[in-house]
Structure 1
Amino acid sequence: MLTAVLSLSGALVFGAADFLGGLAAKRIGAILATAVAALTGCLALLAALPLIGGEWRPDDVAWGALSGVVNAAAIGLLYAALAIGPMSILSPLTAVVSAIVPMAWGLASGETLGPLGGWGLAVALVAVVLVGFVPERGAVRPSAKGLALALGSGVAVGAFFVIMDQTSDASGAVPLVMNRSADAAVMFAIAGAVALVGRRRRAGAGRSAAAPARAPSSPSRVDASRRARSVGLRLAVACGLVDVTANLLLLGGLRSGDLTVAAVLGAMYPAGTILLAAIVLRERIAPVQWAGLVLALAAAGMLALA
Structure 2
Amino acid sequence: MAIALALAAAVSWGTADFLAGLASRRVSVPVVLFLVEGGGLVVILAITLVSGKPFFDDASDFWSALGGGLSGVLGLGCFYAALSIGTMSVVAPISSAGVGLPVVVGIATGNRPSAVTALGLAAIVAGVVLASREEHADSEAAASSRRAVALALVSAIGFGGFFALTDAPSDASVPWTLVIARSAALPFVALIIARGRPRLPTRKLGLGIAAVGTVDLLATALIAIANTKGDLSVVSVLGGMYPVMTVMLAAAVLKERVAAPQVLGIVLALGGVGAVAAG
- TM-score, shorter chain, exceeding 0.5: yes
- Report the Cα offset of residue 100 of structure 1: 1.8
Question: In the aligned structure 1, how far is the partner of 2:15 from the partner of 2:163?
Answer: 19
- Aligned residues, how many? 273
Written as runs of structure 1 = structure 2, the 5 A alignment for 1:195-274 is: 195=197, 229-274=202-247
Question: In the aligned structure 1, how far is the partner of 2:53 from the partner of 2:245?
Answer: 29
8 A contact 2:35–2:210 mirrored in 1: yes
- Report the Cα offset of residue 249 of structure 1: 1.4
Name the residue aligned to 2:63. 62
Question: In the aligned structure 2, how far is the partner of 1:188 from the partner of 1:278?
Answer: 33
Q: Counterpart amino acid of 1:274?
A: V
Change in 2 beyond 3 A, CA 1:146/1:282: closer
Question: In the aligned structure 2, how far is the partner of 1:179 from the partner of 1:258?
Answer: 21
Q: Deviations over 1:45-65 (max 9, x none)?
A: 012226777431133332222
Q: Deviations over 1:127-179 (max 9, x none)?
A: 97599668445584899977665443322221111111131523121111111
Written as runs of structure 1 = structure 2, the 5 A alignment for 1:134-149 is: 135-137=134-136, 140=142, 149=151
Q: Counterpart amino acid of 2:246?
A: T
Larger Rg: 1
Change in 2 beyond 3 A, CA 1:142/1:242: closer
Name the residue aligned to 2:105. 105
Change in 2 beyond 3 A, CA 1:291/1:230: same
- Report the Cα offset of residue 37 of structure 1: 1.2
Q: Deviations over 1:226-283 (max 9, x none)?
A: 9x62332122112100000010111123222222222222222222222223344454
Where 1:268 maps in the other structure, the secondary structure is coil
Q: Counterpart amino acid of 2:244?
A: A
Where 1:28 maps in the other structure, the secondary structure is coil
Question: Structure 1: which 5+ residue stretches go unaligned?
Answer: 199-224
Question: In the aligned structure 2, how far is the partner of 1:299 from the partner of 1:122?
Answer: 8
**Sequence identity (%):** 31
Change in 2 beyond 3 A, CA 1:302/1:23: closer
Question: In the aligned structure 1, how far is the partner of 2:51 from the partner of 2:247?
Answer: 31
Name the residue aligned to 1:24. 23
Question: Structure 2: which 5+ residue stretches go unaligned?
Answer: none
Change in 2 beyond 3 A, CA 1:150/1:282: closer
Change in 2 beyond 3 A, CA 1:8/1:71: same
8 A contact 2:167–2:227 mirrored in 1: yes
Where 1:167 maps in the other structure, the secondary structure is helix
Question: In the aligned structure 2, how far is the partner of 1:121 from the partner of 1:253?
Answer: 22
Q: Counterpart amino acid of 2:55?
A: W
Question: In the aligned structure 2, how far is the partner of 1:20 from the partner of 1:85?
Answer: 15
- Report the Cα offset of residue 121 of structure 1: 4.8
8 A contact 1:101–1:159 mirrored in 2: yes
8 A contact 1:24–1:235 mirrored in 2: no
